[in-house]
Amino acid sequence: MAADNLFDLKIITPDRVFYSGKASFLELNTVEGEIGIYKNHIPMTTVLEPGIATITEEGGNKKEAALHTGFMEILGDRITILAEIAEWPDEIDRNRAQEAKIRAERRLQNDKSNINITRAELALHKALVRIELADHVTK
């Protein structure tokens, strides 16, 4: 891809600048569904859904990361993501994610009157995203 097809991408979490660089394509999940973004995408702001983000850098190199809720602002040649949590595959402990999945499933299967169902479903979704990304790396 030519350099004129690149946009600035910054992913920020509460504790760090997770990613800052140039990209030719970005694919990730929003509450509206999966979205793919090239340079000069229509300006918009959207809410992220937990999922795997795929960043295509100059030269076609792809990086995958788990993003867990947040907001994204698209402004032509610049995208800024404010994420609650962002993780590279090597930062994910698959066993811990599997344990979190089991805990969330148990909470959802047991007496639902004493739990926050939305919170348990979100915990389950986050665990599944982490497991999926960890499994991508081991293949």
CATH superfamily label, 93-138: ATP synthase delta/epsilon subunit, C-terminal domain (1.20.5.440)
Q: Which residue has the tokens 């795997």?
A: 52
Choose which CATH entry (2.60.15.10, 3.40.718.10, 3.30.470.20, 1.10.10.10) describes domain 3-87.
2.60.15.10
Which residues of the chain form CATH 2.60.15.10? Answer: 3-87
Alpha-carbon span 130 to 132, nearest angstrom: 5
The DSSP result for 32-45, as a single string, is TEEEEE-TTEEEEE
CA R_g for the chain = 16
pTM of the model: 0.80
Each residue's pLDDT tens digit, 21-69 = 999 999 999 999 999 999 999 999 999 999 999 999 988 899 999 998 8
Task: Label residue 111 by pLDDT band (50, 70, 90).
Answer: low
Task: Read off the pLDDT band of 138 (50, 70, 90).
Answer: low
- CATH 1.20.5.440 domain range(s) in the chain: 93-138
Strands (E), the chain: 7-13, 16-23, 25-30, 33-37, 41-48, 51-56, 62-76, 78-87
Which of 65, 70, 92 has the alpha carbon at shortest distance from 81? 70
